Amino acid sequence: MNINIKNKKLNNWIKEVEDMCRPDDVYVCNGSTEEYNLMMGKLLASGSAIPLKKRPNSYLFRSDPSDVARIEDRTYLSTISKDEAGPTNNWIDPVQLKETMKRLYRGCMRGRTMYVIPFSMGPIGSPISKIGVEITDSPYVVCNMHIMTRVGSRVLDLLSNDGDFIPCLHSVGAPLPKGKKDVQWPCAPIEKKYIRLFPEENLIWSFGSGYGGNALLGKKCLALRIASAIARREGWMAEHMLILRFISPEGKQYHIAAAFPSACGKTNLAMMRPSLKGWKCECIGDDIAWMKIGADGRLHAINPENGFFGVAPGTSYSTNPMAMDTLKENVIFTNCALTDDGDVWWEGMTEEEPSHTIDWKGNDWTPQSKRGAAHPNARFTAPASQCPVICSDWENPAGVPIDIFIFGGRRGSAVPLVYEAFSWDHGVFLGATAASETTSANIGAVGNLRRDPFAMKPFCGYNMGDCFQHWFDMGDRLGNKAPRIFYVNWFRKSEDGKFLWPGFSDNSRVLKWMCDRVDGKVDAQKSPIGFLPKEGDLHLEGVNMSPEDMKELMKVNPEEWRAEIPGIEQHFALFGNRLPERLKKQLKDFISRLG
């Protein structure tokens, strides 16, 4: 090894993995720029990385067509009992699973280097942060982890002799016979791709995929699946939420954490440029929030990540100019199209399509082609520090105090633009029943209504029924210092199928109403589903909307909501005796209010 490691547990684990996986060499990452360049040099030499002339220090990668997305159907929680994993997770017996995985790992790194990546999720040394160590045989993973986490020797120093860490084992599952040239994107066949999580042991094993969250194990695997289980045990929260700072013209700061399912505008909201005069928005994080109760009794949040791993298609200067400005340099692009002048392109990036590109599979593409130029899940990996509206406190070890929680989804009807929960318990009910109409970014047929509690259905590392109870417990501890809870729907449509609300920068108008509610500046109108804005309290000056459309956007039709009840009852029935009594009471109260 190139670095002397003091931590005995880590040394033992590295030796154990080396004996099992049989790499040709072991390299411990130090997190330096020189190291990043060394790894990228290897990827350039192998033909995996394509340098982009138009973007300094940026590269394009093309994955194997079998390796393009998170593999939820091959992601399993391995707990002692199936009931601990709950009805929303795939489960497998840990003893049986470990034997299967060990057979796959045996000799899987022959012909490759084994990289040891010590990383911190969150600012190094923050009381809210956690340390992980990923072992991988992929230099592509090393480069992405450099951007997405805080990698390096400082993390090893923090571990010292006996510090604790979360072990994350990854292999592309493609040993390289001596003398054989490597392929552009090494991975195992789909039937040999596995992601296995052991939340009771704080352990992550991944095999066969080199893509995204399947391989960057600090992301969804650690930051949500394992962290949510740890958070429940230790009394904090790990949530699938953006974090933003919203600043009034007078300079007052509000901190907002929002949970939306896929394709509901999370990144766009996190980097919003408000249309409201004098208001400013600063991004703290676009995907994940870790939150602990501080000495002041309030909930303080950090973004555990160091970068953005965003979906490229649909991102443009009209939808998210701040994201586009973030992508000017030092970016890893995966499965985007390559333009003739040495830049990347994807659907929705520009109004005019290029006359010719090389598509994500390496083939010629023109506007006449019957296939997409970029893969629908094409990604960018970019340092958060490059975002023009990154908050000055985004790396504050103490985090920022959360004033407001927002839940939401994509709903063409029934759900109004915004409403506020009556209480914390009612807010938990809103989060527990959150639903969205599926898009191509979700699982299942397009247009179906899918319940996604707290936007955590694919990511909760334990029984979701216990997650509901954890939210109630946190509310009890926070008392009157708990964040206020709201629900939004940017996607309500008119009878002729057009979106009623302009969205994007005008969403700031909705956030301002929430802040006014927190400050007690405006009253609200009670409805069966929650508190609605009173007429005139949403600042609509400059919004091109008719009074009729606004009325439709805010309408609450009890008949439509009564039609939701069987779906909610069916959803709750999944959790059996794990469903908290307080949620049952909320449902009963909701039915009573509808009449």
Strand pairing report for 166-171 and 130-136 = parallel
185 phi-psi bin (left φ>0, alpha ψ -120 to 50, beta other): beta
Looking at the fold, whether 380 and 399 belong to one and the same domain comes out as: no
Residues contacting 310, CB < 8 A, separation 6+: 267, 286, 323, 379, 380, 382
Which residues of 357-434 form beta strands (DSSP E)? 357-358, 364-365, 379-383, 400-401, 404-408, 418-420
Looking at the fold, whether 275 and 254 belong to one and the same domain comes out as: yes
Is 35 among the domain residues? no
Looking at the fold, whether 458 and 536 belong to one and the same domain comes out as: yes
Q: Which of 386, 402, 419 is the last residue of a domain?
A: 386
Looking at the fold, whether 372 and 415 belong to one and the same domain comes out as: no
29 in active site: no
Site of tokens 């973004």: 303
Q: Which range marks the domain in which residue 363 is found?
A: 307-386
In a 13 Å sphere around the CA of 515, the CA atoms on its Cβ side amount to 20
Looking at the fold, whether 179 and 125 belong to one and the same domain comes out as: yes
Residue 317 CA: distances (Å) to CA of 322, 374, 508:
8, 18, 18
Is 61 among the domain residues? no
Instruction: Please give the average pLDDT of every successive group of 10 residues along the chain, which has 595 residues.
Output: 88 97 97 98 96 98 93 89 96 90 97 98 96 98 98 94 95 95 95 94 97 96 98 98 98 98 89 97 98 98 97 94 98 98 98 97 97 96 98 98 97 97 98 86 60 96 98 98 98 95 96 98 98 96 93 96 96 98 98 96
Is 1 among the domain residues? no
Specify the DSSP element, H or E, that contains 36: helix 33-45
Is 530 among the domain residues? yes
* Maximum separation of any 2 CA atoms in the chain, in Å: 75
Mind giving me the DSSP string for 329-342? SS-EEES-EEETTS
| C-alpha to C-alpha distance for 319 and 503, rounded to whole angstroms | 10
| C-alpha to C-alpha distance for 459 and 334, rounded to whole angstroms | 23
Contact 194, 206 (CB under 8 A): yes
Looking at the fold, whether 519 and 550 belong to one and the same domain comes out as: yes
Looking at the fold, whether 401 and 443 belong to one and the same domain comes out as: yes
CATH number for the domain spanning 284: value is 3.90.228.20
Which residues of 3-156 form beta strands (DSSP E)? 25-28, 50-51, 59-61, 75-77, 113-121, 130-136, 150-151
Is 138 among the domain residues? yes
Question: How far separated are the first and last CA of the chain, in Å rounded?
Answer: 70
Is 40 among the domain residues? no
* Catalytic residue of the set 21, 264, 281, 387: 264
Looking at the fold, whether 75 and 175 belong to one and the same domain comes out as: yes
For residue 443, the model assigns a pLDDT of 45
| C-alpha to C-alpha distance for 508 and 274, rounded to whole angstroms | 5
Q: For residue 255, how far is the Cα from the chain centroid?
A: 18
Q: Which of 333, 365, 386 is the last residue of a domain?
A: 386
Q: pLDDT, tens digit, for every residue of 357-392?
A: 999 999 999 999 999 999 999 999 999 999 999 999
For residue 265, the model assigns a pLDDT of 87
Contact 121, 129 (CB under 8 A): yes
Looking at the fold, whether 268 and 215 belong to one and the same domain comes out as: no
CATH number for the domain spanning 364: value is 2.170.8.10
CATH number for the domain spanning 191: value is 3.40.449.10
The strands making up 299-302's β-sheet, listed across from edge to edge, are: 237-239, 289-293, 299-302, 400-401
- Measure the CA dihedral 328/332/334/339, to 10°: 40
Looking at the fold, whether 379 and 281 belong to one and the same domain comes out as: no
Residues contacting 145, CB < 8 A, separation 6+: 29, 117, 119, 134, 151, 216, 218
Contact 52, 342 (CB under 8 A): yes
Contact 28, 13 (CB under 8 A): no
For residue 131, the model assigns a pLDDT of 98
DSSP state of 374: S
In 455-578, which ranges are continuous DSSP H helix? 464-478, 507-518, 547-554, 558-562, 565-573
| C-alpha to C-alpha distance for 221 and 545, rounded to whole angstroms | 43
Is 48 among the domain residues? no
For residue 439, the model assigns a pLDDT of 60
How many folded domains does the chain comprise?
A: 3
Specify the DSSP element, H or E, that contains 432: helix 424-432
Q: Which of 366, 386, 406 is the last residue of a domain?
A: 386
Residue 407 CA: distances (Å) to CA of 81, 166, 241, 265:
31, 30, 9, 12
Is 452 among the domain residues? yes
- Roughly what angle, to the nearest 10 degrees, separates helices 33-45 and 139-148? 140
Contact 451, 458 (CB under 8 A): no
| C-alpha to C-alpha distance for 249 and 503, rounded to whole angstroms | 21
Looking at the fold, whether 228 and 124 belong to one and the same domain comes out as: yes
Residues contacting 275, CB < 8 A, separation 6+: 505, 506, 508, 509, 542
For residue 447, the model assigns a pLDDT of 58
Residues contacting 85, CB < 8 A, separation 6+: 77, 79, 91, 462, 463
Looking at the fold, whether 441 and 353 belong to one and the same domain comes out as: no
SS (H, E, C) 50-66: EECCCCCCCEEECCCCC
